[in-house]
Each structure stands twice: as structure tokens, then as C-alpha cells.
A = this chain, B = another copy of it.
């Protein structure tokens, strides 16, 4: 099955490309990037495929069955939609888009074309997350009334002044980049409940005076002090759903020197704290005694799981949990947080 990778930056090299190479049925025919050097570097590094700079060229090739969209957020919708209309199956990196309206447009085209459109909500392919889902579905936690989501870092603004921190490109900051994963995990584990009310505030504080931003390390490239910084470096919110209430605190950067990155699922029978990207602890009571444990299990690479499932669903037609239909709910929720932050009022959705 011939595939193409559109956008050859960090996430393509760290996740999509090696996973396609490990999948026995996939073959990467094109590495596409508007920066020619990046596309060419991939061809050389992986010793396969052709380097192109215009994704339309990829879409014209009838041999291409599927594409990964690994570009900045602002061009997710246009490329994904063009690909679907060209008859290709699409795995588009998260977030689906910068706004809820764009995500809905992508969903509409998916429905029209009938081609697959999955979003890179890779935690739905994470073994730890899926084990938690089994615990929840089995009734172990009872009714989950409250979920607390904490994605707080001390100094982790990515590529200050670049695509990540420019609202016109990324659509937002810590919430849309990190929060999307955490909220998606909550939605997935709790059965994708409907969103009822959303209140939130976002803060653009620590990165704003770029030259004064102190840090010890920076991912996604060095600072560009001539660039733009107009996104949320921290965020807070409270969301009511048809399932649990969700409270969230997140920060790429904050003046509290902690890394508290976890999700607390609080049920009336038991609770689970997931350490994001790692293992989790179950808290419950048995025979009147308090009990706490960390299940031990094999963690496969979740990106490999995601790519394998994508290739598989193209063959079988099976609808994956990362389908655009489930992802639009999180897009709606994040949009409402940004809207609420603008208006300083709660948004009612039901």
C-alpha cells in the first residue's frame, strides 16, 4: 500500500515515518514538504521515496492510497479536504484544525467522500489509556462524577516566536497543543459524552516579553525573537458534560516550578490517576480497607499502534476511535474554552 507523508517536521520524523517503515504493508512513496531540503533529507535518511514540495503532485498519483498530514495546524483542513476529494484516505495530525468550524468542515467532506479521515489523537492507541478504559467500562470505578486534568509544566514553551506560538498558524497554545491530548483521553475513556457548559480563561503572560522568558531547554526549535507570541501559555477551565464534570489547569510555562501532568478520574467506587504518557494508579476500597496499586503491563509504541490501525482500517473499513466524528466533540470543547475566555462568561452548549 503506497502512502505519502505531507509535512516532514518533528512529528513526521519521530512518529509517522518510522511507523510506516515498520508496517509490513505500507510503502512510503513521497516525502512532501514546502521546504525542499526537509523532503530531500527524508529521502536520504530513510533510503526510499521521492521528495516533492507541492502536495497536489502527491494527490494526483493514483497509486497513492493514503496520506499522513503532518504540517502546521493552519493547513490541516485544506490539505486533508483536498486529499479526501482526491480519493485518498487521511491520517491528519492533531488538533484537527485551529477552530471548531474548520473541524466541522473537515467532517462534512469526510461524510461526502466516504474516505477515511482519522485524527492523530494517538492516546486512543496508547496501552495505558486503553487499560484505563477497560477498568472504567468494567464498572470498577462506579459512576465517574469528576475528572481533573492537569497539564502543567514549568518552562516548556515550544519554538518561541515560531509556528507553535503564532495564533494564525497554530490556532492556540498550551490548550490546543497539549490540552487536546488530555481532553481527548477524558472523552475517550468516558465514552465521548456531550458537552453542556464550558467556562475558561487563557493567559498569555510568560512568553509575551520574549527576551525576558527564562528557560533551560526549548523543544521545537530555538526562539525567534522577531517572531510572534500571541497564544495561551496557560489555561484553566470547568466543563459540564452529560458524563463527568471536567476541571482543567494547563501550562506550557508558569511561575510554579512543578511538572504535574496527570488526569484524575474520580468515581464513586474507585479512582484512577494517569501519569500522562506513563502508568497509572488505581485507588479503591476492599472489605473496608483502603487499597492502591499500579498495574504493570507491556507498553507498545502508541504511534506504531496508530499507524498499524490506520493501515488496517483502510483494508477492513472498520471505524477507528480516532475518527473525525469523535474528534469534533473535543474541537467543540476547546473552541468553547477560547470563546469563554474572550467573553469572560460561561458558554452554554446544550
Of the listed stretches A66-74, A171-179, A266-274, name the one at the interface; the rest are far from the partner chain: A266-274
A198 CB to nearest chain B CB (Å): 10
Residue of B nearest to A214 (CB): B285
Contact B283 A289 (CB under 8 A): no
Residue of B nearest to A205 (CB): B268
The verdict on A107 contacting chain B, using a C-beta distance below 8 Å, is no
Contact A146 B236 (CB under 8 A): yes
The verdict on A53 contacting chain B, using a C-beta distance below 8 Å, is no
Residue of B nearest to A268 (CB): B205
CA distance A65 to B295 in the complex (A): 53
A316 CB to nearest chain B CB (Å): 22
Contact B298 A216 (CB under 8 A): yes
CA distance A220 to B148 in the complex (A): 29
CA distance A298 to B237 in the complex (A): 33
CA distance A131 to B288 in the complex (A): 9
Contact B297 A284 (CB under 8 A): no
Most chain B beta-carbon contacts within 10 A, residue among A268, A289, A291 = A289
Residue of B nearest to A147 (CB): B236
The verdict on A141 contacting chain B, using a C-beta distance below 8 Å, is yes
Chain A contact residues: over half helix, strand or loop, or mixed? strand
- From residue 203 to 258 of chain A, which have CB atoms closer than 8 A to chain B? 203, 205-206, 212, 214-217, 234, 236-238, 240, 245, 247, 249, 254-258
Contact B249 A255 (CB under 8 A): no
Contact B257 A203 (CB under 8 A): no
A147 CB to nearest chain B CB (Å): 10
Contact with B along A19-45 (1 / 0, CB 8 A): 000000000000000000000000000
Instruction: Enumerate chain B residues within 8 angstroms of A267, measured Cβ to Cβ.
Output: 255
Residues of A within 8 A of B (CB): 131, 134-135, 138, 141, 145-146, 148, 154-155, 196-197, 199-201, 203, 205-206, 212, 214-217, 234, 236-238, 240, 245, 247, 249, 254-258, 264, 266-271, 273, 281-298, 344-346, 348
A-B contact pairs, 11 of them (CB 8 A): A145-B203, A197-B199, A199-B346, A200-B238, A216-B290, A236-B247, A240-B344, A254-B271, A255-B283, A256-B273, A286-B295
